[in-house]
Amino acid sequence: MTDALAGRIEELMPRAKSDLAALVAIPSVADPRQYPPERCREAAEWVAAAFTEAGLHDVHLEETPDGSHAVIGHRPPPPGAPTVLLYCHYDVQPPLDDEAWTSPPFELTERDGRWYGRGTADCKGNIVMHLTALRALGEDIPVGLKLVAEGSEEQGTGGLEQYVPPHAGELHADALLVCDTGNAAVGVPTATTTLRGLANVVVSVRALKGDVHSGMFGGPAPDALAALVRILDSLRDEAGGTRIDGLDCEGTWAGVGYDEAQFRTDAGVLDGVALTGTGSVADRLWARPAVTVLGIDCPPVVGSAAAVPGAARARVSLRVPPGTEPGAARDALSAHLRAAAPWGVQVEVETESTGSPFEAATGGPAYGALDTAMREVYGKPMSFLGQGGSIPLCNVLARTFPSAEIILMGVEEPRCLIHAPNESVDPEEIRHMAHVEALFLQNYAKAARS
């Protein structure tokens, strides 16, 4: 049966490529300031039609509280079979810098054995993975299915998170496949079991009533930008590791590691530049808080005047691992920023957003069925991986469906460069993970009957 299933998936790969090309061609960026909202609806309607053709029932668009549309559908379970919810999202990150792309961001391009384009991995590649698995099974889908394809995940506006609790009855399932992550590396079968939460703040510094001439007042006049730089520098130790008063920054990771040389390649670290912090790469990525200065408002180099800045501000993001409450992390970050202010400058810290970390329970029958499927496809046992990013929906799902098993998996891996220019996917990961998903559905149904 496994060989026959693998053969059907192999036959479906040309269709997977054409489907992905059609999806990538739709610039479904869920930000009306950048792209017309009609393009997101176009993508949603494409997804609805594709899953209808793949065997789901009553696939339709539901408007969520942030104005985006979720694609919802279902397929009833055979008698005595469990139900699995399939999650994905069809919106994508903006391409950022078009000139940094080697090929057009909204045109699927094959190069060096990979498929390039915005959304090829995150998350349109996972949509195609779902479709390929279901088409390979045909009418022999052994479980009930529910579909949720989100339309604003990348914007973080929370439409689906608000939609889920009042619609818990129609979305309830025994296992939830949240397909917005992927393997530790190509060919390494992996389930993501932890997600970092976040606390984002904006810190504003004021030192003068306004900018003043640097020739007339520079020296004694306190420089707000220099003060901000000192404040931000206090968030790291000499090795560059995050150090925030009141937060444990010494956690260790017990799952699969992340080779340092591979990390340097994946992250594009320049020759001669050291990684920041101490401990293993996995410790720093998945088990410890990590601070990032996302942006600074200050005079630009081009057009700047000979003036002492009177005010400056920065957007600061703090990623927090499971075991750290995001509200407490935000409070610690805010207190640290205020305490680090030099020269009596005025500091205001405004909370932008918070999100809770997530940790999956991995001992249930769904995880057993997934491990069996991954062993059959990849020839090796499933690894557990942390994820540095945040998926707030996972916490909503965990609260809404406390008895359901939540599995994070998919076609993404470090070389995909999600969110960056030249995003790509390895088509072999689509083929293998579609096979894994189809086998999982079969294995999970058998486990429920035994």
153 is catalytic: yes
Q: Which of 19, 91, 154, 412 is catalytic?
A: 91
Q: Which of 150, 153, 174, 180 is catalytic?
A: 153
Give the closest residue to 289 by CA, choosing from 263, 260, 325: 325
Tokens of 344: 């009596």
Residues carrying an active site annotation: 91, 153
